[in-house]
C-alpha cells in the first residue's frame, strides 16, 4: 500500500492515461463492460486526486521527482543543487484545483454514461474524456514549465476533439476548429515564453526560475505572452469569441468539464503571476491589468448573454462573465501584494473570494450545463423560443436548474452568494466603483436566468412536449453530486474557506514557501 501512497502524483496521470488507452481495446472485445470500466476509471482517478489533495492539506506541499526513489529530494545531491528531474509540485492551490476537477469529472462521467448510451463511437469518446482529465490534473500539479505546456496541449487537443465529437451538421466541427486554433496559438505563445525563460535561467523548473526572476525586458515579453495565452485558454475578454462557439456545440456533459479545463488555464495564469513573477514586479500595474480584464469579461460576458436565443450559448457567455469575478478578486489581491496592511485588511479576502469562486463556478455552472443538457436530451431543441412548460414533466431537472441559476446569480444560501459576498466586500474596500459594477453584473445575471427559467420550465404544457419524460437516474445522479456541493458550500462557507480556500490563497501569496519546498532553502 505504501508504494501506492508514495507515488500518488504519478498515479494521478498514469491511471487516467492507462485506462484511456485500454478503452478502445475493451470497446472492441468486451463492449458490455465498457460503461462499468469508464465509471471505475474515472472514480479511481478522482479518488487519487482527492487523496492527493487531502495529503497536501494535512501534510503540506508534495514534491514528487519522477524516476527517483520515493522521498528523495527534487535536486539530486551530486547535481549541485539544480533540480534537473521532472517534478510535480502540488501545493495548496494545486490541491484546491485538483479537488474541483475531481468532483466535476466524476459527476459528469455518471451523466455521460447515460446520455451517450444511444451514440456510436463511445470507446474513443471516453478515451478522449480520460485524456482531458489527465491533461487537467497534469496542468494543476506540475512543477515544470515544459510539462505544463505538454499538459496544456493534451487538454486543448482532447477538448477540441470532444467538442466536435457529434458533428451536428458541421457546426460542431466549426466550433471545435475555432477553439483549437485559438488554443494552439496560445500554446505556442506559452512555449515561446518558456524558451525565453530557459535561455536566461537554463532551467525549466518553476521554483528555480522563480527564485532567480528579475525585471528584465525579456521577462516582460514572456509575461505578456503568458498572460495573453492563458487568458485565451481561460476564455476571458478579449479572447472570449472562441469560448461560446465551442461550448454551445459540445455535448452537454463535456461542456461542464470544459469549464474545469479552462480554469486550469486560470490556474496557470495565477501560478505564473504570483509564484513565478510575484513580488519582482510592480504588482499594482499588473494587478490593475488583471482587474480591467476581469471587469471587461464580467460586463461584456453578461451583456452578450442576455440577447442569446441558444440556451447553451447563453450559458457559455455567462461562463465568460463569471470568469471575470475570479480575475477581479485575484487581481485586487495582486494589486495590493506589496502592501502588507492592505493585504491583511482586504487583499487576503479578495484572493480567497476569487479562488472560492473558481470551485463554486465549476460546481454550479457544471450543474446548469448538465440540467440544460438533460432538457436538450429529451426535447432535442436548443432554442429558448421553442421551449416551454417543461416543468410539468421534468420536475427534478427543473429543481436542479433553479438551484444552479440561483447560485450563479448570488442568492443565499447557495455557494455563489458566499464567494460573491467575499468579492464584493473586499473589492469595495479597494475601489467602491468596481464593487458596484460587480453587483450590477450579478443583477443582470439574475435577470437573464429568470428569463431562461421562465421560458424553459414555466407556462402551460406544450402539446409537442407532452411525451417528454424525466431523464434516466444516472444523469440525475451526476446532477445530485454537483447539487450537494452547491448547497453544502453555500451553507458552510466558513468551513470551506478556512480549510480549502485559505491554504490555496496562502500558497499563492507566499512565493517563498513554494521555492523552499522544491529547493529546500538551497541555491
Partner 1 sequence: MIANLPFIAVALLIGIALATILLKKNMIKMVMGLAMLEGAVNLFLVTLGYRENGIAPIFTNAPEGADMVLPTVQALTLTNIVIGVATTALMLVLVMVIYKKYGTVDADKMRRLKE
35 contacts partner 1 (rule: CB under 8 A): no
When the beta carbons of 265 and 347 are compared against partner 1, the nearer one is 265
Minimum distance of partner 1 from residue 514's CB (angstroms): 22
Place of cell 476571458: 236
User: Are the C-beta atoms of residues 174 and 249 closer than 8 Å to each other?
Assistant: yes
**Residue in 17, 191, 372, 517 binding partner 1, rule: CB under 8 A:** 191
When the beta carbons of 175 and 324 are compared against partner 1, the nearer one is 175
195 contacts partner 1 (rule: CB under 8 A): yes
Q: Which residues are CB-contacts of 501 (< 8 A; sequence separation ≥ 6)? A: 96, 352, 355, 356, 359
- Over its C-alpha atoms, the chain yields an Rg (Å, rounded) of 22
The footprint of partner 1 on residues 361-380 (CB under 8 A) is none
160 contacts partner 1 (rule: CB under 8 A): yes
From the list 70-78, 149-157, 295-303, 485-493, the region that binds partner 1 by CB under 8 A is 149-157
Q: Which residues are CB-contacts of 92 (< 8 A; sequence separation ≥ 6)? A: 56, 57, 61, 503, 504, 505, 506, 507
169 contacts partner 1 (rule: CB under 8 A): yes
Cα separation, 24 vs 19, whole angstroms: 10
**Residue in 117, 167, 451, 454 binding partner 1, rule: CB under 8 A:** 167
Q: x/- string (CB under 8 A) for partner 1, residues 171-190?
A: x-xxxxx--xx--xx--x--
HSE-CB of 196 using CA atoms within 13 angstroms: 18
51 contacts partner 1 (rule: CB under 8 A): no
**Residue in 22, 47, 82, 150 binding partner 1, rule: CB under 8 A:** 150
Minimum distance of partner 1 from residue 164's CB (angstroms): 6
When the beta carbons of 150 and 474 are compared against partner 1, the nearer one is 150
**Residue in 155, 164, 435, 455 binding partner 1, rule: CB under 8 A:** 164
Place of cell 459540445: 250
From the list 2-10, 197-205, 255-263, 370-378, the region that binds partner 1 by CB under 8 A is 197-205
How far CA 353 is from CA of 216, 408, 410, in Å, comes to: 32, 14, 13
Task: Give the DSSP letter of residue 89.
Answer: E
When the beta carbons of 149 and 274 are compared against partner 1, the nearer one is 149
Task: Give the long-range contacts of residues 409-412, CB within 8 A, separation 24 or more.
Answer: 409/442, 409/445, 409/446, 409/449, 410/442, 410/445, 410/446, 411/446, 412/490
Minimum distance of partner 1 from residue 139's CB (angstroms): 14
When the beta carbons of 149 and 401 are compared against partner 1, the nearer one is 149
From the list 74-82, 154-162, 264-272, 298-306, the region that binds partner 1 by CB under 8 A is 154-162
146 contacts partner 1 (rule: CB under 8 A): yes
Minimum distance of partner 1 from residue 18's CB (angstroms): 19
Cell numbers of 147, please?
510539462
Cα separation, 419 vs 409, whole angstroms: 11
When the beta carbons of 75 and 295 are compared against partner 1, the nearer one is 75
**Residue in 35, 144, 153, 352 binding partner 1, rule: CB under 8 A:** 153
Q: x/- string (CB under 8 A) for partner 1, residues 221-260?
A: ------------------------x--xx-----------
From the list 20-28, 68-76, 157-165, 499-507, the region that binds partner 1 by CB under 8 A is 157-165
Quick check: helix, strand or coil at residue 167? coil
Give the burial class of 200: count Cβ atoms within 10 A of its Cβ; 0-12 exposed, 13-18 middle, 19 or more buried. Answer: middle
Place of cell 474515472: 42
Minimum distance of partner 1 from residue 142's CB (angstroms): 14
When the beta carbons of 172 and 330 are compared against partner 1, the nearer one is 172
DSSP string, 492-508: -HHHHIIIIIHHHHHHH
When the beta carbons of 53 and 176 are compared against partner 1, the nearer one is 176
Cα separation, 460 vs 276, whole angstroms: 57
Q: Which residues are CB-contacts of 107 (< 8 A; sequence separation ≥ 6)? A: 256, 366, 370, 478, 479, 481, 482
User: Are the C-beta atoms of residues 213 and 277 closer than 8 Å to each other?
Assistant: yes
User: Are the C-beta atoms of residues 416 and 409 closer than 8 Å to each other?
Assistant: yes
When the beta carbons of 153 and 352 are compared against partner 1, the nearer one is 153
121 contacts partner 1 (rule: CB under 8 A): no
CA-wise closest residue to 387 among 302, 297, 452, 305: 452
When the beta carbons of 181 and 344 are compared against partner 1, the nearer one is 181
When the beta carbons of 100 and 248 are compared against partner 1, the nearer one is 248
When the beta carbons of 176 and 497 are compared against partner 1, the nearer one is 176
User: Are the C-beta atoms of residues 356 and 496 closer than 8 Å to each other?
Assistant: yes
Binding site for partner 1 (CB under 8 A): 146, 150, 153, 157, 160-161, 164, 167, 169-171, 173-177, 180-181, 184-185, 188, 191-192, 194-195, 198-199, 204, 245, 248-249
Amino acid at each position: 500500500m505504501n508504494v501506492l501512497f508514495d507515488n500518488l502524483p504519478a498515479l494521478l496521470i498514469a491511471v487516467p492515461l492507462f485506462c484511456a488507452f485500454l478503452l478502445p481495446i475493451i470497446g472492441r472485445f468486451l463492449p458490455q463492460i465498457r460503461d462499468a470500466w469508464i465509471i471505475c476509471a474515472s472514480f479511481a482517478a478522482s479518488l487519487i486526486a482527492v487523496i492527493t489533495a487531502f495529503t497536501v492539506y494535512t501534510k503540506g506541499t508534495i514534491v514528487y521527482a519522477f524516476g527517483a526513489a520515493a522521498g528523495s529530494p527534487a535536486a539530486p545531491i551530486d547535481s549541485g543543487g539544480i533540480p534537473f528531474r521532472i517534478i510535480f509540485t502540488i501545493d495548496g492551490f494545486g490541491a484546491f484545483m485538483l479537488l474541483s476537477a475531481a468532483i466535476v469529472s466524476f459527476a459528469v462521467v455518471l451523466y455521460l454514461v447515460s446520455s451517450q448510451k444511444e451514440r456510436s463511437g463511445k470507446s474513443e469518446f471516453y478515451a478522449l474524456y480520460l485524456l482531458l482529465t489527465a491533461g487537467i490534473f497534469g496542468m494543476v500539479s506540475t512543477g515544470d514549465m515544459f510539462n505544463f505546456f505538454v499538459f496544456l496541449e493534451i487538454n486543448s487537443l482532447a477538448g477540441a476533439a470532444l467538442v466536435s465529437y457529434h458533428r451536428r451538421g458541421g457546426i460542431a466541427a466549426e466550433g471545435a476548429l475555432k477553439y483549437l486554433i485559438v488554443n494552439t496559438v496560445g500554446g505556442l505563445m506559452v512555449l515561446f515564453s518558456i524558451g525565453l525563460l530557459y535561455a536566461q535561467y537554463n532551467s525549466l523548473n518553476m521554483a528555480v526560475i522563480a527564485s532567480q526572476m528579475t525585471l528584465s525586458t525579456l521577462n516582460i515579453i514572456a509575461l505578456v505572452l503568458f498572460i495573453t495565452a492563458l487568458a485565451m485558454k481561460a476564455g476571458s475578454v478579449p479572447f472570449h469569441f472562441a469560448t461560446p462557439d465551442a461550448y454551445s456545440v459540445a455535448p452537454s456533459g463535456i461542456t461542464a468539464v470544459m469549464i474545469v479545463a479552462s480554469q486550469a488555464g486560470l490556474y496557470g495564469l495565477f501560478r505564473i503571476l504570483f509564484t513565478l513573477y510575484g513580488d519582482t514586479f510592480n504588482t499594482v500595474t499588473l494587478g490593475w491589468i488583471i482587474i480591467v480584464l476581469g471587469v471587461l469579461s464580467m460586463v461584456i460576458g453578461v451583456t452578450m448573454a442576455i440577447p442569446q436565443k441558444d440556451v447553451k450559448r447563453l450559458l457559455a457567455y455567462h461562463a465568460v462573465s463569471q470568469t471575470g469575478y475570479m480575475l477581479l478578486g485575484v487581481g485586487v489581491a495582486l494589486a495590493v501584494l506589496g502592501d502588507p496592511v492592505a493585504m491583511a485588511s482586504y487583499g487576503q479576502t479578495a484572493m480567497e473570494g476569487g479562488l472560492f469562486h473558481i470551485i463554486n463556478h465549476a460546481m454550479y455552472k457544471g450543474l446548469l450545463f448538465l440540467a440544460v443538457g438533460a432538457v436538450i436530451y429529451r426535447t432535442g431543441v436548443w432554442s429558448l423560443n421553442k421551449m416551454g412548460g417543461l416543468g410539468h414533466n421534468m420536475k427534478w431537472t427543473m429543481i436542479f436548474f433553479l438551484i444552479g441559476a440561483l447560485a450563479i446569480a448570488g442568492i443565499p444560501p447557495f455557494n455563489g452568494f458566499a464567494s460573491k459576498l467575499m468579492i464584493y466586500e473586499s473589492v469595495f474596500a479597494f475601489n467602491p466603483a468596481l464593487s458596484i459594477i460587480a453587483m450590477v453584473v450579478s443583477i443582470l445575471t439574475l435577470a437573464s436566468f429568470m428569463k431562461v427559467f421562465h421560458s424553459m420550465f414555466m407556462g402551460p404544457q406544450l402539446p409537442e412536449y407532452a411525451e417528454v419524460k424525466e431523464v434516466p437516474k444516472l444523469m440525475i445522479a451526476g446532477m445530485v453530486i454537483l447539487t450537494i456541493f452547491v448547497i453544502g458550500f453555500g451553507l458552510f462557507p466558513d468551513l470551506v474557506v478556512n480549510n480549502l480556500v485559505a491554504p490555496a490563497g496562502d500558497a499563492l501569496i507566499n512565493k517563498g514557501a513554494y521555492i523552499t519546498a522544491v529547493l529546500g532553502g538551497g541555491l
